[in-house]
Structure 1
Amino acid sequence: MISSITRPGGVSRRGAVHVRRATARDAKRLTRLVRTSSAYEGHYAAMVAGYRVGPDYIETHRVFAAVETGTDRLLGFYSLVLSPPELDLMFVADDAQGLGIGRLLIGHLRGEAGRAGLSGVRVVSHPPAEGFYRSMGALRTGMSAARPPAVMWDRPELLLPVGAPGEATDPGRGADPREG
């Protein structure tokens, strides 16, 4: 759990945060988070323009949401596919960037993957997010070629070790408000 964090100017951005399993009722909020992500502006916008995280996707995959305790405000989410092991989706709300939400989600993902017996998780990264994943201990393994018309650019492929040295697998530990 992360305590409230104060941004410059003294404005508290949120209270405590916890990660919970997403439900079908979260589908619209998850879809909105994907479609409005500033990480997918400009030439990346086409990739998420019609993207939908549907109730069926949430019910058949391991989708977890980081939410503000007490308000259930969505701050980010991820989806873990077990076979083959891959981080399918991960998004953090624009106004929650830099508050440790990404680090919290990666810690939670590592815990889930470890409980499932995985030693590593493949990440095909949005190019601007590669640095974040590498800061979490992911190792670059290659490039995933563009697949027009859905994906018009090559993307870094990484392997995120589940038991990386120095990284917490407990979702309540290791969340640095300056990261993620």
Structure 2
Amino acid sequence: MQSTTIRRAAEQDAEPLTALVQGSRAYQGQYAPMVSGYRVTADYLARHEVFTAVDPAGHLLGFYALVLEPPELDLMFVADTAQGSGVGRLLVAHMKERAAAAGLTHVRVVSHPPAEKFYRRLGAERVGTVAPLLPKVTWERPELRFAVAAPSPLREARPPGAGVADPVPPTARQR
């Protein structure tokens, strides 16, 4: 398998990220209203820790958005064609390292119901249920939490958002 690079999202990524969200098979049928009209904006990218996973040719494989205050994985999407290839696992590992570098001890996830098993396989624990947000979200959603380990003292600490590119964490490298 080819390598995957994780890099900080830039303003020009807003439209491709929006297309990934709106085109996700996971949000078809009863879940379609949740992403209908949703846009990832340049302002959103500037305000949050948003990282993309790309293949060697630069094709978008997925992304996540980490909100630091309060700590929450706000968005995480993997392209339909990349699901099952380990991209989601890479993104979660990267998110946890970014959270640790920011000094967070946990990250909340309000999960899309079908994604709960994925998050739990990666170590999140269920802590509750979030009520529907009418009119777009008409179903309860699992509330999960990832514990975040303190960064290793052997690794050089960088402040969140430092630089444009961010390498894939060594522990989450995919080949």
How many percent of aligned residue pairs carry the same amino acid? 56
The residue aligned with 2:35 is 48
Match of 1:32 among 11, 19, 30: 19
2:52 corresponds in structure 1 to 65
Gaps of at least 5 residues in structure 1 are: 5-14, 165-169
User: Are the equivalent residues in 1 in contact too, given 2:3–2:174 (CA < 8 A)?
Assistant: no
What is the deviation of 1:60?
A: 1.1
Once residues 17 and 89 of structure 1 are traced to their aligned partners in structure 2, the CA distance between those partners, rounded to angstroms, is 19
Asked if the contact 2:132/2:141 (under 8 Å) is kept, the reply is yes
Residue 10 of structure 1 corresponds to which residue in structure 2?
none
- Seen in structure 2, the aligned counterparts of structure 1 residues 175 and 138 have a Cα distance that, compared at 3 Å, is farther
Q: String of CA shifts for 1:52-107, please: whole Å, max 9, x gaps.
A: 001111111110000112x2110000000001000000000000000000000001
Query: For the residues of structure 2 that align with 1:150 and 1:46, how far apart are their CA atoms?
Result: 5
The residue type paired with residue 24 of structure 1 is E
Of the three residues 100, 121, 128, the one matched with 1:135 is 121
TM-score, normalised with respect to structure 1: 0.84
Q: 1:120 aligns with which of 106, 120, 144?
A: 106
Q: Indicate the SS of the match to 2:123.
A: coil
Tell me whether 1:99 sits opposite 2:97 in the alignment.
no
Aligned to 2:161: none
Q: If each structure's strand is expressed as a fraction of its own residues, which one has the higher value?
A: 1
**Corresponding residue for 1:85?**
71
Name the aligned partner's letter for residue 151 of structure 1: V
The letter of the residue matching 1:112 is R
Residue in 2 aligned with 1:9?
Answer: none
Q: With CA pairs under 8 Å and 6+ residues apart, which has the higher RCO, 1 or 2?
A: 2
Q: Is the 8 A contact 2:17 2:40 kept in 1?
A: yes
TM (normalized to structure 2)? 0.86
Runs ≥4 residues deviating over 4 A: none
For residue 142 of structure 2, what is the aligned residue in structure 1? Answer: 156
Task: For 2:28 and 2:170, locate their aligned partners in 1 and report how far apart those are by CA, in whole Å.
Answer: 32
Aligned residues: 158
SS at match of 1:26: helix
Mark the runs of 5 or more structure 2 residues left unpaired by the alignment. 151-167
Q: 1:104 touches 1:172 (CA, 8 Å); kept in 2?
A: no
